[in-house]
Amino acid sequence: MRLFKPLILGGAVLAAISCASSRPASEPAHGELSSLSAASRPDAAFCEHRVPQEACTRCNPGLIPRFKAANDWCGEHGVPESQCFQCHPDLSFEPLPTLAAEADLKQLSLQGEDVPELTPHAVPGKVTVFDFYADWCPPCRKVDAHMFVLLNQRQDVAYRKLNIVSWETPLAKRYLEGVPNLPHLVIYGKDGRPVRSVTGLDLAALDAAISEGAAR
Ligand SMILES: [Zn+2]
Ligand SMILES: [Zn+2]
């Protein structure tokens, strides 16, 4: 999966970022980023491959079938997609913080299915952060890590997640026209009205939008 949309030039589709090269047509060169490579504990040991030792398929070849079964395999580089630094230089493996029972997190779209409007899902009296993401987007996991900490600290922030799956789903087509890459966040204020959107990994801009939304 590509993080950036393909550029469409005169009908030709050119992948903006791709590490695919020649390969047999029968076997896809790239798979999906599953969570199989995430560390199970914050203090997990890392191996020489910069991967949590417990999940590394170069250290533990017996794990390879699990990754392939999950379609988490980079055929080009012979490692799981979720361990391939050549394809994804910004991989991170930190486990997400455990969410407190009061944390306000809901999944609005699981498989790219359409959500006709965001406004009815904005929570009155809270700042609502709508998160358009995909499992193949490493920076999106950094947004999760940031938001999970925030949700554990504040009861006036609601997090609503929308899995676009690909750029071709009904959800992506409705909301991501003109959006070049993920993550894409839409922040609503406590008054239930949009503050602004933040595209790409910019946690400072996200925090500023949340502060602005909380002041309404
Ligand atoms: Zn290793
Ligand atoms: Zn790769």
pLDDT in tens, 70-88: 999 999 999 999 999 999 8
114 and 77 fall within a common domain: no
Q: Tell me the C-alpha distance between 131 and 148, whole Å.
A: 12
Q: Return the pLDDT at 199.
A: 97
Distance 198 CA to ligand 2 centre (A): 28
C-alpha Rg value of the chain to the nearest Å = 18
Q: Tell me the C-alpha distance between 122 and 140, whole Å.
A: 21
Q: Tell me the C-alpha distance between 126 and 38, whole Å.
A: 31
137 and 59 fall within a common domain: no
CB 52 within 8 A of CB 38: yes
Distance 46 CA to ligand 1 centre (A): 8
3-state helix/strand/coil string of 38-87: CCCCCCCCECCCCCEHHHCCCCCHHHHHHHHHCCCCECCCCECHHHCCCC
How far is residue 2 CA from its own chain's centroid?
Answer: 12
120 and 196 fall within a common domain: yes
124 and 86 fall within a common domain: no
Please say whether the dihedral angle defined by the alpha carbons of residues 130, 132, 134 and 139, taken in this order, is positive or negative.
negative
Q: State which of 46, 61, 95 marks the end of a domain.
A: 95
Q: Return the pLDDT at 136.
A: 79
84 alpha carbon, closest ligand:
2
111 and 201 fall within a common domain: yes
Distance 110 CA to ligand 1 centre (A): 32
Q: Is the pLDDT of residue 144 over 50?
A: yes
80 and 130 fall within a common domain: no
User: Quick one: DSSP state of residue 181?
Assistant: B
Tell me whether residue 72 is exposed, middle or buried, using C-beta atoms within 10 angstroms of its C-beta: 0 to 12, 13 to 18, 19 or more: buried
Q: State which of 69, 95, 121 marks the end of a domain.
A: 95
Q: Return the pLDDT at 28.
A: 55
84 and 123 fall within a common domain: no
115 and 206 fall within a common domain: yes
Q: Return the pLDDT at 25.
A: 39
Distance 191 CA to ligand 2 centre (A): 45
17 alpha carbon, closest ligand:
2
Peptide bond into 183 cis (omega under 30): yes
Q: Return the pLDDT at 6.
A: 55
Once rounded to an integer, what is the mean pLDDT over residues 104-112? 96
208 and 153 fall within a common domain: yes
83 and 119 fall within a common domain: no
SS percent in the chain: helix, strand, coil, step 5: 25, 20, 55
Residues 6+ apart with CB under 8 A from 88: 33, 81, 82, 138
Q: Return the pLDDT at 10.
A: 39
123 and 53 fall within a common domain: no
Q: How confident is the model at residue 96 (pLDDT cuts 50, 70, 90)?
A: confident
122 and 78 fall within a common domain: no
Range of the domain at 209: 104-214
Q: How confident is the model at residue 30 (pLDDT cuts 50, 70, 90)?
A: confident
